[in-house]
Structures are given as C-alpha cells and as structure tokens.
Amino acid sequence: MKKIILMSVVISAGIFGLSPYAFAEHVKSLRGDLALEEDSVAPTLKHYQKDEEPIERDYLQQPPLIPHKINEYRVTIKHNKCLSCHSWSNYKARGATKISQTHFESRDGAIMSNVSPRRYFCSQCHVPQVKAKELIANDFEPVDSMRH
Amino acid sequence: MSKKKISISVLVIGFILGVIFWGAFNWTLELTNTEEFCISCHEMRDNVYVEYQDTIHYANRTGVQATCPDCHVPREWIYKIKRKIQASNELYHKALGTIDTREKFEAKRLELARHEWVRMKENDSRECRNCHNYNDMDYPSQGRRAVDNHVKGFANGETCIDCHKGVAHELPDMIEDDSSAVLLKH
C-alpha cells in the first residue's frame, strides 16, 4: 500500500512539476523569498510611540498596551522599573495606571503580598507600539460590548 | 643691586613660580577629571562603566555625552576640591581591594549608590543642572507624563535624583527603598 502511495505522489509531482524547488519559489515568508545566503534589504527603523494617551483595549483579556517608550527600563531581580510607577504604592504619586490585582496570584491561586514572580516580567505581555503597517491584513473588530 | 631691585625680582620670580605651580596643580587635577582616568581602575571599567554604555548619557541620537566627571565631580572650584579630598578615601579602598570583584561590588552597590543619592539630594542635583536646568525646560516639547511629574515634583520641592535614580547605572537592590517594585522574596 505504502509503495502505491509513494509512487502516485512521485508521479503526480512529476506531472504537475511540483518538485521541492518549485514549492520554494511560491513560498513567501515574512522575511521575504530571498535565498538564505543573500542579504535582504534592511527595513527602515521604526520608532516606539514616545508618549501617547492610554490605548483602549479591544477585547477583555487583552493585556493593556504600553503607550510610551520603555527604552532603558530594566526589569531585574533587584528592581522593576515599570513598577516604580505602576505598582500599588507608586501609581497615585506618578499618575500611572495601577497594576492589576490578578498579578498578585500565584499559579495555585494563592494571593500573595507582592507581584507574583510569574507576572513580574511585564513586557512578556505588555508591549510598546510603533505606527507601522500590519504585516497581515486584519479586520478584527471588538464585540459591541467592548466598543469604545 | 639695590634693595628695591631685589624685592622686585623676588616678586617677579615668585609670580612666575606661582603661575607654574598653580597651573601644574590644576593640570594634574584636570587629568583626574577624565573618563580615561576613571576607567583606568578595573572596578570602574568592569562595573559601572559597562552599565553606563547602555544608557542615554552615553549613546544618544545627537552624540552628546555626559562622562563620569560631568555627574560625579562638581564644576565649581570649592566643591570640586572638597569632592576630590573625599575621593582620596577611594584610593585607600582601592589598596584594600574593597570592591575588587564583581561580588564585592554588588554587595556594596546599595551603600555606594546611597552616597551619591544623598550627595545629589543635598546639593539639589547640582551636577544634573549643569545641563538640565529646570528653569530652562520647555514644557510643551516634553511628553505629557514628563510635564505632569516635573510640575508636581518641583512644586513639592523635589529634585532630579528623587525620581531619576539609576539613569546611568544599574539600580542596586531596591527592596528597602521601594519594596513594591522588586521581585517577591528574592
């Protein structure tokens, strides 16, 4: 049986000219369709939005986006630069959005006295934005109840 | 030679020697006021200097740099001499090897950072204001967050270092200063 399948694949490949090379010519990944050894043209540098108004969420579970630059903001075991404005102790004085209560929960659901280590690395979910064309066309619309 | 002539030549020679000694003193002092001098010790070159290279005061779009002495040595003569005399203590600790490994340095980082924070708080961030004078800030060209916090901060008598800690070097362990911004139980 296996032989028959293999044979028919080989034959049909021969008929339709679908050698692996033929496939490669039609596949266009996000990095372009250049061969590996060729240098692609470097895209223009994009700049993060420097200082914008807070960005509304498009769906309930969306981690809020960062509407400002975060260059040089370090998150280390000894200090989290984001939290120096966004923590519960600091947000009022700094006029920042406060960190969500959900971030104090351990993975077993226990409430902790400070930000849970699994939620400590902010930029795993929260990201700054650049004004750039979408790589893939997208017509996502929030549901009516989330529309603003 | 008359007495008058002798006293005049003593005065002239004294003046010339004075200029030479004063010039030599200042020249030597200025030699110690260069980044090159600061990083001639591995304690500075391998720790704080590496961190500083990652920050805006080293790398930025216009190519203006603030090097070690711009922030850490006062410009005015009397404060500069005072700081230089204090800094002779650093030679003693260099000889002792107080921070001659990364581990020793990390263990001392908070204490050393606090020295600078206290110094800057007490002198109203004088070295920052050599370049960043808040009377000269153009608020409309600042971001909305910067305007809010600058206006509020200055009104409350705060100074640069109150918020801008760790702008040129890694922050030390901040658990005592701001426990809400550190990793739990580290």
Asked whether B128 and B167 are in contact (CB, 8 A), the reply is: no
Are residues A56 and A118 located together in one domain of the fold?
A: yes
- Output the CATH code of domain B3-162: 1.10.3820
Neighbours of A14 (CB within 10 A): 10
Is there a contact between A76 and B181 if contact means CB atoms under 8 Å apart?
A: no
Query: The domain containing residue A127 runs over which residues?
Result: 45-131
Give domain status of residue A8, yes or no.
yes
> Does pLDDT of A4 surpass 80?
no
Are residues A53 and A96 located together in one domain of the fold?
A: yes
Are residues A121 and A61 located together in one domain of the fold?
A: yes
Are residues A52 and A108 located together in one domain of the fold?
A: yes
Are residues A127 and A56 located together in one domain of the fold?
A: yes
Our CA dihedral for A84, A86, A87, A89, rounded to 10 degrees, sits at 80
Across the A/B interface, how many CB contacts are shorter than 8 Å?
77
- pLDDT above 70 covers what percent of chain A? 81
Query: Using a CB-CB distance cutoff of 8 angstroms, which residues of chain A are in contact with residue B180?
Result: 83, 87-90, 114
Of B172, B178, B186, the CB nearest to A84: B178
> Number of folded domains in chain A?
2
Are residues A73 and A96 located together in one domain of the fold?
A: yes
**pLDDT class for B126, splitting at 50, 70, 90?**
very high
Rounded average pLDDT over B168-185: 90
Chain B nearest C-alpha distance from A111 (Å): 12
Are residues A23 and A50 located together in one domain of the fold?
A: no
Q: Is A126 on the interface with B (CB under 8 A)?
A: no
Are residues A63 and A111 located together in one domain of the fold?
A: yes
Rounded average pLDDT over B87-91: 93
Does this model's pTM top 0.95? My answer is no
Are residues A62 and A116 located together in one domain of the fold?
A: yes
Query: Using a CB-CB distance cutoff of 8 angstroms, which residues of chain B are in contact with residue A112?
Result: 184
Are residues A64 and A101 located together in one domain of the fold?
A: yes
Of A79, A81, A95, the CB nearest to B148: A95
Give domain status of residue A112, yes or no.
yes
pLDDT digits (tens, 9 = 90+) for A19-73: 555 555 566 777 777 788 888 888 788 889 988 999 988 888 899 999 999 988 9
* The predicted structure's pLDDT at residue A32: 73
* The predicted structure's pLDDT at residue B78: 95
**Domain limits, chain B:** 3-162
CATH of the domain at A74: 1.10.1130.10
Are residues A84 and A126 located together in one domain of the fold?
A: yes
Distance CA B57, CA B46 (A): 18
Give domain status of residue A148, yes or no.
no
> What backbone phi and psi angles, to 5 degrees, belong to B3?
-60, -35
Is there a contact between A51 and B184 if contact means CB atoms under 8 Å apart?
A: no
- pLDDT above 70 covers what percent of chain B? 99
Q: Which is nearest to B160 in space by CA: B185, B127, B182, B186?
A: B127
Are residues A78 and A100 located together in one domain of the fold?
A: yes
